[in-house]
């Protein structure tokens, strides 16, 4: 694997490598989390502490669950352009496995989110042995809805989240293992 840091590779697609993040990814991660346009579904950009907490939560998920949001890296350049993976999220009073994705705005509209989300769906079914996988999306985030649909998911619910003092309607998509 290219690069100066040894990191655990999870999976790869035609153009992308997904691997566990490390502290060395903090600068690339802040380019995503501290961009207010990218983070509109979260009611704005994260500060340094929130960005570090985000990274720490994913490092904890790797240890505790064996999965989390992984760094999405361009195979051609070894550049981290986003994150995609599987996390536990609350829906209808239970914890469900969710595919989440968040990309550097410079790489939007190139199919990277769908490519990585589809790969994560297969990983969730084939490696993690989940029978159903979800994507929970703020209702105003149409590009993420489109990624869920491209991932073969259909609408299965909706609910309200309270985050940063804001009432946020969310839609829930899912797909079952074939």
| 8-37 per-position pLDDT tens digit | 999 999 999 999 999 999 999 999 999 988
Domain extents in the chain: 9-131
Distance CA 166, CA 178 (A): 37
Q: What share of the chain is helix, strand, coil (3-state, %, to 5)?
A: 35, 35, 30
Q: What is the tens place of the pLDDT at every residue in 83-97? A: 999 999 999 999 999
Q: What is the tens place of the pLDDT at every residue in 40-85? A: 777 789 999 999 999 999 999 999 999 999 999 999 999 999 999 9
pLDDT at 44: 83
CB 35 within 8 A of CB 46: no
pTM of the model: 0.92
Q: Domain 9-131, CATH 3.40.630.30 — does that match?
A: yes
Distance CA 116, CA 154 (A): 18
């Amino acid at each position: 694997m290219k690069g100066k840091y040894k990191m655990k590779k999870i999976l790869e697609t035609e153009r992308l490598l997904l691997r566990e993040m490390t502290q060395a990814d903090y600068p690339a991660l802040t380019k995503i989390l501290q961009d207010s346009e990218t983070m509109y579904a979260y009611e704005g950009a994260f500060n340094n502490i929130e960005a570090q907490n985000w990274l720490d939560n994913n490092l904890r998920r790797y240890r505790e669950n064996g999965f989390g949001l992984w760094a999405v890296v361009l195979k051609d350049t070894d550049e981290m352009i986003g994150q995609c993976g599987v996390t536990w999220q609350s829906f209808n009073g239970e914890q469900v496995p969710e595919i989440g994705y968040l990309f550097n705005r410079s790489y939007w509209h190139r199919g990277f989110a769908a490519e990585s989300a589809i790969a994560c769906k297969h990983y969730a079914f084939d490696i993690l042995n989940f029978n159903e996988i979800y994507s929970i999306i703020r209702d105003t985030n149409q590009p993420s809805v489109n990624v869920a649909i491209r991932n073969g998911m259909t609408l299965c619910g909706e609910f309200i989240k309270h985050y940063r003092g804001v009432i946020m309607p969310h839609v829930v998509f899912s797909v079952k293992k074939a």
